Structure 1
Amino acid sequence: MRSIVLLFLIAAAGFGQPAEKTVIVRPTEIDDVLVNPGIGFMTFQRFNGDALNEGLKWTEGYPIVYQEFKGTLENKNHPMTSIAYFRVYWKFLEPEQGKYRFDLLDTALKTAHNRKQTLMLRVAPYGTRNDNDVPDWYRTMMGPEPGLKIAKWRTNPEDPRYAQHFGKLIREIGKRYDGHPDMESVDLAIVGAWGEGAGAADLTEATRRALVDSYLESFSKTPLVMLLTDEKTNKYGISKKPVGWRVDCLGDMGGFSNPNWSHMQDYYPQAIINFGMKDAWKKAPVSLEVCWVMQHWKNKGWDVDYIIDQSLKWHISSFNGKSSAVPDEWWPQVNRWLKKMGYRFVLRKFTYPAAVRSQGKIAFTTWWENKGVAPIYKEFPLALRLKGTQRTEVLLTDADIRTWLPGDNLYDNAVFVPAGMPDGEYELAIGILDPQTRVPAVKLAIAGVDAGGWYPLGKIQISGN
């Protein structure tokens, strides 16, 4: 549903000129959960349609064990997603020095694409077990390393060979995949078990810069997301270019050894401000990961509404629930979360002329409201479509919708009617398109979408051929 009003405007040249009709469209807002690029829940080491992890367990860091596709993209007991997250240890990507298993990334990217997802990536230097140490060739080079300064270090990052070899892998990945249309973002992980950044604050400035620069200098198109680790590392990264941030323990309300300390109350609120990341969300995404799994939150009796509201305050765009089931009783809260997470575009008003001449301009005005908590971070063209009985044309605008922060946004412009458009009545529609395929990719929170993802606005008459 939408309301359409025709206004008669007197031309500025004087009352003797013929009146022009302006159409005013006020679309009807909808309350649906929308699955849109780069936002919402994600799958972890899995893809849309795969079986979830069972119970309270999950896997990470190892090559993906691909499940047979069952023919449906639906995720039982889990929201639909537009993102697949792959976390992989260094040793699997570079089993021999200088020989890279890019096939692991290629297959993940292809599978994500086929499941209507983009791929989020983290290369973790190591884990905590013998089978997820640094690569065998690097361990042979370094030898045993007992008594390291930080408990979650498996190798000394201050040895120049670490930045040289781990940094070279990151640069090779950037050389091959930066700007890949199916690569959603890359975690800027430099040190510590699982790449979570333990001990980053203790690095020398030279080592810190060498590791961080391996990402900053290799990814100019694909968004980077830093682990929220320490003031020196985070402030250095964001001083060089827009980077987002992430944490891996959202929801912890006191589940570790100290009952009077939690990530949600005693670390994240302070670190976001102290590490200089409070406004990072305006230019790059915030991606948060569940601590344990959501069922663990419920078993502990933690307040899911408080956790959700804090994440929204921090401008969350995406959430990794580790491909574990959403507790049945929490679906209302999760759906509320999904309607605010990331961006949510409502077209409030659109005006355009009821008639134009061939090769003339369609001047239009728009008022949008972003009812989410973040902008969109990649370029998606805003376009108009003219659809007639004999010809259809898609007209791209120059709108940069990445600037549409939460709240009201205006965009007024004009597009030319292509030469040779046959006289007649056309349907005018609007859409936000995939930059590669030029078909609608972003769902709007308004009624009336057609089968192709366009939102019809009304009729326009073209004449003068």
Structure 2
Amino acid sequence: MASVIRRGTFMNKCPHHRPAPHQPSPAGPTPSSPPQSDFPLTHTGSGRIIPIMTFLPFRHISLTLTLAVIGGIVLPSRTHADDTERVRVLPEDTGAALVNPGMGWTLHYYSNVPTNYGSKLAPSDTIDFFPGLSTIYLRIPWCFLEPEEGRFNWALLDTPAQRWIDRGLRVAFRFTTSENWNRSGTPDWVVAAGAERVFYKFGEGPVPEGESPLWDPVFDDPVLIEKLDRFLEAAGRRYNGNPHVDFIDVGTFGMWGEGHTHMSSAVPESDLLRIQKLHIGLHLRHFPDTQLCISDDFVGHDRPGTDFPITEYALAHGVSLRDDSILVQPSPRQWYHAELAGHFWPTLPVILEHEHYGSSILRDAWKDGGQLLEAVEAYHASYLSIHWWPQEFYDKNKDLIQRINLRLGYRVLPTEITYPARIPIDSWFTVDWTWANRGVAPCLPGGFPAITVKDDQDGIVAVLVDENIDMARLQVAPPDQAPHSTHKSEFRIGHVAPTVQPGTYRVFISVGMRDGTPQIALPLSDGDGHHRYFIGDCQLY
């Protein structure tokens, strides 16, 4: 008895993968071995049939099927019951960076200041060199988006956004009302309409008018709230529930949208919670179908702890957390709220923003960058910022970026799959598969595994989905400790229709919607360009 073993790495690319003509194995049998044709075999992807004994030091192999080798194609013996003739697949992680829903690197195209950090990019430059980039982050003051009441400058957002949407990527937003590099983030016409404001010196607090050009709106002023509500209503019509929008920050309260005023207008502590809830509520009203998040500075920029009324309120309303920012200061003050993130990451995506890369280096907070990976682990981050000129950041941190990509967000893959080598048409058969999530965050979008059977013209013959297996339920763990989850699924091909002809077909695996539409990239080779991955052949009869 022997088994068909197919490794997860195939060199030949779909859609027309076929084994090359048989070549002799470079290693003959040892004196104690059975005859060569009786060895358990594996397909390496190069077309060679190699004794599986080569791999025994690394994998335990169960023997279940006698093989015949005919013209370079491995065929199962017909002497046993079909469901006992099993193909066993041991996929291997390719190490590739993944671009998936609800995770990835976010490029600060606008970082409050419109020239930071996308202004050096040509219109055609979508930084395709950066592995794992998924989201373009546009953080911009309200005053630039509505310079006149009711007249909007949406091109400021839509023009850069479409450059990446055309490439299949996504965007995220923050609209701010308070800036220290500009007189304000709030349009002047809001004040002209009667809204109150507070002048301040940055880092010192409120001052009389005339002593500083900088001003904050009174964040609960009725005129401000009315005008802001109308702006967010207009933004919501465009971006709420938009499939290209990953998340929107609640950014209309506090300096740079971070939810604090200790360096500007110094809102009294007694008013903070009420006003913060007011601004969260405005966003919930106009973006009910979009993931929202607040800065960790809503609780205080350096206030440690895990339980705060404002984060409890946010969590209760499905609003997630981002840290603005880590690595501003050297260790041990490199971040403050990893434990706070523990309330959010099991059910909501946590977003990490590091300090402007150049500033972090100048303060000696960056070091070798290793603490950025430590932060990804500590926060169980789904997203991580590129908070600098992207080419320079990439060039100086390539190895770090690669290591982060193996952990950032979720990293779902099958570690073992077995299925029948011969499958009777219109009869039940089983697939046994083991899954793991090697990322730091849960697969929050969820996804269901599917087997897709194709013919040699890449035509889809059968799509088989197990809706009882949701990747969102896979547990996460420290590196190299991801727990495995094993399942048995029952499927049937060709029941009623479509018509299925007997023959040899190719088997692909994917994760996605309940209807079998693939949505999640897996770290596997031999993809078909649609997130389906070739794992072997089967014979339908």
Q: TM-score, normalised by structure 1?
A: 0.79
Aligned with 1:121: secondary structure? strand
- Whether 1:343 aligns to 2:395 is no
Amino acid in structure 2 at the alignment position of 1:182 = H
Work out which of the residue numbers 149, 153, 167 in structure 2 matches 1:115: 167
Separation (CA, whole Å) in 1 of partners of 2:456 and 2:167? 34
Work out which of the residue numbers 82, 85, 92 in structure 1 matches 2:134: 82
- Whether 1:268 aligns to 2:333 is no
Amino acid in structure 2 at the alignment position of 1:86 = L
Aligned-pair CA distance for 1:208: 3.3
- Deviation sequence 1:411-445 (CA, Å, 0-9, x none): 54344424212222211101235899x87553323
- Whether 1:430 aligns to 2:498 is no
Computing the radius of gyration over CA atoms, which structure comes out larger, 1 or 2? 2
Aligned-pair CA distance for 1:293: 1.4
- Whether 1:401 aligns to 2:463 is no
Separation (CA, whole Å) in 1 of partners of 2:510 and 2:83? 29
Separation (CA, whole Å) in 1 of partners of 2:361 and 2:120? 28
Amino acid in structure 1 at the alignment position of 2:374 = D
Matches within 5 A, 1:202-241: 202-203=270-271, 205-228=273-296, 229-230=298-299, 231-241=308-318
Verify the 8 A CA contact 1:153 1:192 in the aligned structure 2.
no
Verify the 8 A CA contact 1:344 1:445 in the aligned structure 2.
yes
Work out which of the residue numbers 354, 358, 378 in structure 2 matches 1:290: 354
Verify the 8 A CA contact 1:74 1:80 in the aligned structure 2.
no
Query: Cα distance 1:381–1:220, how it changes in 2: closer, same or farther (>3 A)?
Result: farther
Separation (CA, whole Å) in 2 of partners of 1:66 and 1:384? 45
- The answer to which of 65-74 and 447-456 deviates more is 65-74
Separation (CA, whole Å) in 2 of partners of 1:195 and 1:263? 22
Aligned with 1:460: secondary structure? strand
Aligned-pair CA distance for 1:283: 1.4
Aligned-pair CA distance for 1:197: 0.6
Aligned-pair CA distance for 1:453: 4.0
- Deviation sequence 1:82-127 (CA, Å, 0-9, x none): 2111112112222333444444444344222123321011111231
Separation (CA, whole Å) in 2 of partners of 1:183 and 1:34? 18
Aligned-pair CA distance for 1:35: 4.1
Verify the 8 A CA contact 2:177 2:256 in the aligned structure 1.
yes
Matches within 5 A, 1:404-423: 404-406=474-476, 407-410=482-485, 411-418=487-494, 419=497, 420-423=499-502
Amino acid in structure 2 at the alignment position of 1:408 = P
Verify the 8 A CA contact 1:37 1:83 in the aligned structure 2.
no
Separation (CA, whole Å) in 2 of partners of 1:80 and 1:368? 22
Aligned residues: 429
Work out which of the residue numbers 169, 187, 190 in structure 1 matches 2:231: 169
Query: Cα distance 1:18–1:93, how it changes in 2: closer, same or farther (>3 A)?
Result: closer
Amino acid in structure 2 at the alignment position of 1:198 = H
Separation (CA, whole Å) in 1 of partners of 2:126 and 2:252? 37
Aligned-pair CA distance for 1:21: 2.5
Work out which of the residue numbers 374, 383, 390 in structure 1 matches 2:441: 374
- Whether 1:353 aligns to 2:431 is no
Amino acid in structure 2 at the alignment position of 1:389 = D
Separation (CA, whole Å) in 2 of partners of 1:42 and 1:147? 33
Verify the 8 A CA contact 2:198 2:215 in the aligned structure 1.
no
Separation (CA, whole Å) in 1 of partners of 2:194 and 2:135? 37
Work out which of the residue numbers 144, 147, 162 in structure 2 matches 1:92: 144
Query: Cα distance 1:434–1:323, how it changes in 2: closer, same or farther (>3 A)?
Result: farther
Aligned-pair CA distance for 1:455: 1.4
Query: Cα distance 1:190–1:236, how it changes in 2: closer, same or farther (>3 A)?
Result: farther
Separation (CA, whole Å) in 2 of partners of 1:150 and 1:413? 64
- Deviation sequence 1:175-214 (CA, Å, 0-9, x none): 4322222111111224012111114865355433332122
Matches within 5 A, 1:38-187: 38-45=102-109, 60=113, 67-70=121-124, 73-75=127-129, 79=131, 81-130=133-182, 132-142=184-194, 145-146=197-198, 154-187=216-249
Aligned with 1:235: secondary structure? helix
Verify the 8 A CA contact 2:145 2:154 in the aligned structure 1.
yes
Separation (CA, whole Å) in 2 of partners of 1:453 and 1:20? 29
What is the identity percentage for the equivalent residue pairs of Structure 1 and Structure 2? 22
Note the residue ranges of structure 1 that are not aligned, 5 or more in a row. 9-15, 47-57, 255-260
Separation (CA, whole Å) in 1 of partners of 2:502 and 2:517? 25
Q: TM-score, normalised by structure 2?
A: 0.69
- Partner residue of 1:54? none
- Deviation sequence 1:237-285 (CA, Å, 0-9, x none): 11222x321122211224xxxxxx97525x334xx43xxx423111111
What is the Cα-based RMSD across aligned positions, in Å?
Answer: 3.5
Matches within 5 A, 1:294-309: 294=358, 296-297=360-361, 300=364, 302-303=366-367, 304-309=369-374
Amino acid in structure 1 at the alignment position of 2:418 = T
Aligned-pair CA distance for 1:314: 0.9
Separation (CA, whole Å) in 2 of partners of 1:18 and 1:383? 21
Query: Cα distance 1:171–1:444, how it changes in 2: closer, same or farther (>3 A)?
Result: same
Separation (CA, whole Å) in 2 of partners of 1:197 and 1:153? 16
Separation (CA, whole Å) in 1 of partners of 2:323 and 2:198? 28
- Deviation sequence 1:29-66 (CA, Å, 0-9, x none): 333444444433222217xxxxxxxxxxx763579769
Separation (CA, whole Å) in 1 of partners of 2:254 and 2:535? 53
- Partner residue of 1:443? 521
Note the residue ranges of structure 2 that are not aligned, 5 or more in a row. 1-6, 9-41, 44-61, 66-79, 207-213, 262-266, 300-307, 477-481
- Partner residue of 2:54? none
Matches within 5 A, 1:238-253: 238-241=315-318, 243-253=319-329
Verify the 8 A CA contact 1:7 1:24 in the aligned structure 2.
no
Query: Cα distance 1:99–1:59, how it changes in 2: closer, same or farther (>3 A)?
Result: closer
